[in-house]
């Protein structure tokens, strides 16, 4: 718990509008990916087909899209950002694995790795000063 508090103090002391815009862009990107997966379920099923041999394909279909949509909204507003990103990390790790195992274009691998890297950054950085978390903390 002290580690989270010290990370929050450091992040609030070193917060910049550009980092908040990157967080918002990440949330919008994840939300739009969730919408894309909801509107085209067959595309999502085709994406996870290389790892569907393990089982749990329908679980993945019903986890990925809502997690992207809800997590994206939470990241945009900076509400429970670390929890929202924790829900995104297995999906993004799976996206990298699917892109390596499957027959995917290298652009998809680049997007998955970049999104994973930004999520890992915000996992440590937090939501920053311009967020709902910071606003609610100051209201106490």
Rounded average pLDDT over 20-39 = 92
**51 has pLDDT over 70:** no
**34 has pLDDT over 60:** yes
Q: No. of H helices and E strands in the chain? A: 7, 0
**So what's the pLDDT on residue 124?**
86
3-class SS string, 75-109 = HHHCCCHHHHHHHHHHHHHHHHHHHHHCCCCHHHH
- pLDDT tier at 73 (50, 70, 90 boundaries)? very high
How far, in Å, CA of 106 to CA of 25, rounded?
22
Q: Is the dihedral of CA 36, 100, 61, 126 positive or negative?
A: negative
Which residue did the predictor score with more confidence, 118 or 37? 118
CA 123 to chain centre: 10
Tell me the two tokens of residue 21. Answer: 């815009």
**So what's the pLDDT on residue 54?**
67
**So what's the pLDDT on residue 4?**
65
**So what's the pLDDT on residue 87?**
92
Question: Is there a contact between 49 and 96 (Cβ–Cβ < 8 Å)?
Answer: no
**86 has pLDDT over 80:** yes
Please give the model's pTM, rounded to 2 decimal places. Answer: 0.81
Q: Give the closest residue to 119 by CA, choosing from 15, 12, 6, 26.
A: 26
Q: Which residues contact 47 (CB under 8 A, 6 or more apart)?
A: 98, 102
Longest dimension (CA), the chain: 51
């Amino acid at each position: 718990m002290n580690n989270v508090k010290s990370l929050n103090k450091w992040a609030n002391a070193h917060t910049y509008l550009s980092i908040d815009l990157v967080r918002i862009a990440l949330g919008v990107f994840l939300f739009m990916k969730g919408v894309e997966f909801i509107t085209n379920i067959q595309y999502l099923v085709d994406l996870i087909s290389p790892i569907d041999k393990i089982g749990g394909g329908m679980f993945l279909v019903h986890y990925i899209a809502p997690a992207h949509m809800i997590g994206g909204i939470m990241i945009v507003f900076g509400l429970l950002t670390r929890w929202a990103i924790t829900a995104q990390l297995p999906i993004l790790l799976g996206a990298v694995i699917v892109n390596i195992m499957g027959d995917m274009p290298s652009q998809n691998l680049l997007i998955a790795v970049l999104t994973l890297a930004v999520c890992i950054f915000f996992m440590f950085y937090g939501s920053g000063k311009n967020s709902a978390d910071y606003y609610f903390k100051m209201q106490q």
